[in-house]
């Protein structure tokens, strides 16, 4: 029985590994600790139709509306319809979601949802899901987990994936054979200076897949979470949308409830793109450094029980949320685009699968509906594993060490490129965009990428340099995709172009690298 290699230990990689391990051996690679992933930081929960007053059609309508006219209807129906069974499997594995005194799941509401349908474990749902999946993975005899192993590139043979080139903790390059590979490395938020993503979110999976010839889709749609904590050193901490779902509301520093100007129907529970733009406009209008999220009216006891992580983290940064409002600003949060897949998680490269934020399954369209991401990961992990069972057992080489990395780039050069890239992406490719500025940004990104590549060529493949190379490639894909979309839709707001939505069905942007980078091991 030949093995599969799964890259990434978030909900996507773990769940796919567990499903697939019933039929073949799995090697799960993660570049840091297995527990470190975007999943672990997910506060809100899983959006799923399990409530008595809810329906699959309502969830589908909310997802399609938020997706701005380009969400794939088949993908939406697939995820929403199959989601309840996948969530029930988590409960059977031991996930401690919140139940009321009658034994019914407690459902929360978030932006864009017309019903309460978000199952949660206080404000640490991602951590709870990660816990139970890791526990199951560690006990499974067919799964081997290798921590601190960085996937550099895919190995190709006769037009299909044959393995992964891996950098181990000692600096050795190892060719690892596989009959299929699944890229589930999470997001790319570190492209931007201010992001809710952890340091590991460097877009590795998107970059690796693209270099191997995979098509990427909808990279321009970067979701900015409206409410990241606005305190020095805390920009990566988001204040869950569930806070507004429980009755929190936004105001300017002067006390004006401004959301009624931007979405009088949904108000503070409007979709994320609407709220993020509204906050950005208000900050520009007032000159204030942040807006305020008011929650003290919910009561100290409720806040400590429902949002213990938010309560304690804010307190560490000097904000007593039961006594004062929380200062918040938008920050890069989620990429709706990624490696294009079908409804069985297969990319356009034979033998290559992708799940989660690394992938673009068609669910989110131009804007992700809150808490749909964990549901998406669960559904496509199952569907991908069913398809992967049929992959042929082809082993063309033995694992072997093929290189040793010892050299280091000049002191300061990596940081210099990183800081410049983060700055221009945050300033020029944020909530609001401009064609002329995007064109200048694309030109500068090409120069930055060339400089980074010279460092890679001269000083070998240090992990921090490889991550920066991946970040730079993802940045260029975002900008190139944004330049192709001559309209304002969902998360892509282009100055001088009117906002369109469901009444103007659109198309997806797709990019493919005709000449894969020569780093791919031959």
Structure tokens at 199: 């340091």
Catalytic residue among 244, 272, 306, 462: 272
Element (H, E) at 172: strand 172-177
Judged against a pLDDT cut of 50, whether residue 441 lies above it is answered with: yes
| pLDDT score, position 36 | 52
Distance CA(484)–CA(96), nearest Å, equals: 44
230 touches 329 (CB < 8 A): yes
pLDDT at 230 over 80: yes
> How, if at all, do strands 499-500 and 488-489 pair?
parallel
pLDDT band at 96 (very low <50, low <70, confident <90, very high): confident
Query: Per mean pLDDT, which range of 44-53, 346-355, 384-393, 402-411 is the poorest?
Result: 402-411
> Does 460 have pLDDT greater than 80?
no
Listing DSSP states for 182-249 in one string gives EE-----GGGSSSBSS-TT-S-HHHHHHHHTT--EE-TT-EEEEEEEE-STT-TT-B--THHHHTT-E
What's the rounded mean pLDDT across residues 421-432?
93
Residues 409-413, mean pLDDT to the nearest whole number: 65
Residue 46 pairs in a beta bridge with: 119
**Could you tell me the pTM of the whole model?**
0.90
| pLDDT value for 388 | 95
Per-residue confidence at 502, pLDDT binned at 50, 70, 90?
Answer: confident
User: Residue 434, SS3?
Assistant: coil
Res. 50: pLDDT tops 70: yes
- Helices 11-20, 372-388: inter-axial angle, 10-degree rounding: 30
> What's residue 520's pLDDT?
41
DSSP letter for each residue of 365-382: TTSPPTTHHHHHHHHHHH
252 and 284 in contact (C-beta within 8 Å)?
A: no
Q: Which residues are CB-neighbours of 252 under 8 A, at least 6 positions away? A: 258, 282, 286, 288, 291, 292
Q: In terms of residues, how long is the chain? A: 522
What does the pLDDT read at residue 515?
Answer: 47
Assigned token pair, 138: 């560690």
From 18, 240, 56, select the one nearest 142 (Cα to Cα).
Answer: 18
User: What does the CA dihedral 62, 11, 338, 194 come to, rounded to 10 degrees?
Assistant: 90
**Band (410; pLDDT cuts 50, 70, 90):** low
Host H or E run for residue 48 = none
Q: How confident is the model at residue 35 (pLDDT cuts 50, 70, 90)?
A: low
Half-sphere exposure of 474 (CA within 13 A, CB side): 33
Task: Give the tens place of pLDDT for each residue, 140-198.
Answer: 999 999 999 999 999 999 889 999 999 999 888 999 999 999 999 999 999 998 898 88
- Please check the confidence at residue 94 and state whether its pLDDT lies above 90: no
- Euclidean distance between CA atoms 222 and 429, whole angstroms: 9
Q: What is the enclosing helix (H) or strand (E) of 295?
A: none
pLDDT value of residue 453: 86
CA 331 to chain centre: 13
> Exposure string (b/e) for 483-519, b if CB count within 10 Å is 16 or more?
bebeebbbbbbbeeeebbbeeeebebbbbebeebeeb
Highest mean pLDDT among 75-84, 388-397, 492-501: 75-84
Please give the span between the terminal C-alpha atoms of the chain, in angstroms, as a whole number: 24
H-only helix segments in 42-120: 56-66, 73-93
Q: What number is the average pLDDT over the span 473-491?
A: 95
Which DSSP string do the residues of 14-75 spell out, in sequence order? Answer: HHHHHHHTTTS-EEEEESS-TT-SSGGG--S-EE---STT--HHHHHHHHHHHTTT-S-HHH
Helix, strand or coil, per DSSP, at residue 328: strand
Q: What is the mean pLDDT of the chain?
A: 89
- The whole-angstrom separation of Cα 237 and Cα 227 is 9
SS3 call for 314: helix
DSSP 108-168: E--TT-SS--EE-STT-HHHHHHHHHHHHHHH-TTEEEEET-EEEEEEEETTEEEEEEEE-
Q: What is the spatial distance between Cα 200 and Cα 464, in angstroms, rounded to a whole number?
A: 10
Residue among 189, 223, 226 nearest 422 (CA):
189
- The pLDDT-based confidence of 45 (bands split at 50, 70, 90) is confident
Q: Do residues 19 and 382 make contact, with C-beta atoms less than 8 angstroms apart?
A: yes
Residue 339 bridge partners (DSSP): 216, 359
Q: Do residues 446 and 137 make contact, with C-beta atoms less than 8 angstroms apart? A: no
CB atoms within 10 A of CB 393: 10
What pLDDT band is residue 522 in, cutting at 50, 70 and 90? very low
Q: Distance (Å, rounded) from C-alpha 405 to C-alpha 394?
A: 29
Q: Which pLDDT does position 102 carry in this prediction? A: 84
Q: Quote the pLDDT of residue 521.
A: 44
Interhelix angle for 125-139 vs 372-388, to 10°? Answer: 20
Q: DSSP class of residue 395?
A: -
Is 272 part of the annotated catalytic residue set?
yes
| pLDDT more than 90, % of the chain | 65
Confidence of residue 518 (pLDDT cuts 50, 70, 90): very low
Domains defined along the chain, listed by start? 4-221+336-402 (3.50.50.60), 226-331 (3.90.700.10), 405-501 (1.20.58.100)
Among 120-134, 271-285, 477-491, the range scoring the smallest mean pLDDT is: 120-134
Higher pLDDT among residues 182 and 416, named by residue: 182
Characterise 356 by phi-psi region: left (phi > 0), alpha (psi -120 to 50), beta (else). left
Phi, psi of 353 (to 5 degrees): -110, 160
Q: Are 243 and 120 in contact (CB under 8 A)?
A: no
């Amino acid at each position: 029985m030949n093995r599969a290699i799964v890259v990434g230990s978030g909900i996507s990689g773990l769940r796919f590994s567990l499903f697939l391990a019933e039929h073949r051996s799995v090697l799960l690679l993660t570049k840091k600790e297995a527990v470190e992933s975007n999943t672990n930081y997910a506060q809100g929960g899983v959006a799923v139709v399990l409530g008595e007053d809810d329906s699959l059609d309502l969830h589908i309508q909310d997802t399609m509306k938020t997706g701005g006219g380009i969400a794939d209807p088949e993908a939406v129906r697939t995820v929403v319809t199959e989601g309840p069974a996948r969530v029930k499997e988590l409960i059977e594995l031991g996930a401690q979601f919140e139940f009321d005194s009658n034994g019914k799941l407690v459902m929360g509401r978030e932006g864009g949802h017309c019903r309460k349908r978000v199952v949660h474990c206080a404000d640490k749902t991602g951590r709870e899901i990660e816990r139970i999946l890791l526990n199951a993975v560690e006990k499974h005899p067919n799964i081997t987990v290798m921590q601190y192993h960085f996937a550099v590139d895919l190995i190709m043979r006769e037009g299909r994936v044959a393995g992964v080139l891996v950098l181990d903790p000692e600096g050795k390059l190892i060719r690892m054979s596989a009959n299929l590979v699944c890229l589930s490395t999470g997001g790319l938020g570190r492209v931007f200076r201010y992001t809710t993503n952890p340091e590991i979110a460097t877009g590795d999976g998107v970059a690796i897949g693209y270099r191997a010839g995979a098509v990427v889709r909808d990279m321009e749609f970067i979701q900015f979470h409206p409410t990241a904590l606005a305190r020095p050193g805390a920009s990566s901490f988001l204040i869950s949308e569930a806070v507004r779902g429980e009755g929190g509301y936004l105001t300017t520093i002067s006390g004006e409830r401004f959301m009624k100007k931007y979405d009088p129907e949904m108000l503070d529970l409007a979709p994320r793109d609407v709220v993020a733009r509204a906050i950005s406009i208000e900050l520009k209008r007032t000159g204030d450094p942040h807006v305020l999220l008011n929650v003290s009216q919910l009561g100290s006891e409720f806040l400590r029980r429902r949002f213990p992580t938010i309560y304690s983290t804010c307190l560490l940064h000097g904000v007593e949320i039961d006594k004062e409002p929380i200062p918040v600003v938008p920050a890069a949060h989620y990429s709706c685009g990624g490696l294009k897949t079908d409804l069985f998680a297969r990319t356009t490269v034979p033998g290559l699968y992708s799940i989660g934020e690394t992938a673009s399954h068609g669910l989110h369209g131009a804007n992700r509906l809150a808490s749909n991401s964990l549901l998406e990961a669960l559904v496509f992990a199952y569907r991908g594993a069913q398809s992967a069972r049929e992959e042929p057992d082809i082993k063309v080489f033995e694992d072997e060490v093929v290189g040793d990395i010892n050299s280091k780039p000049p002191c300061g050069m990596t940081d210099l490129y990183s800081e410049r890239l983060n700055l221009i992406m945050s300033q020029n490719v944020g909530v609001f965009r401009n064609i002329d500025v995007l064109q200048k940004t694309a030109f500068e990104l090409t120069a930055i990428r060339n400089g980074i590549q010279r460092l890679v060529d001269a000083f070998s493949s240090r992990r921090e340099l490889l991550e920066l190379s991946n970040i730079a490639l993802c940045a260029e894909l975002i900008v190139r995709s944004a330049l192709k979309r001559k309209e304002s839709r969902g998360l892509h707001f282009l100055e001088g172009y009117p906002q369109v939505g469901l009444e103007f069905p659109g198309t997806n942007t797709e990019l493919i690298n005709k000449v894969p980078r020569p780093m791919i091991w031959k």
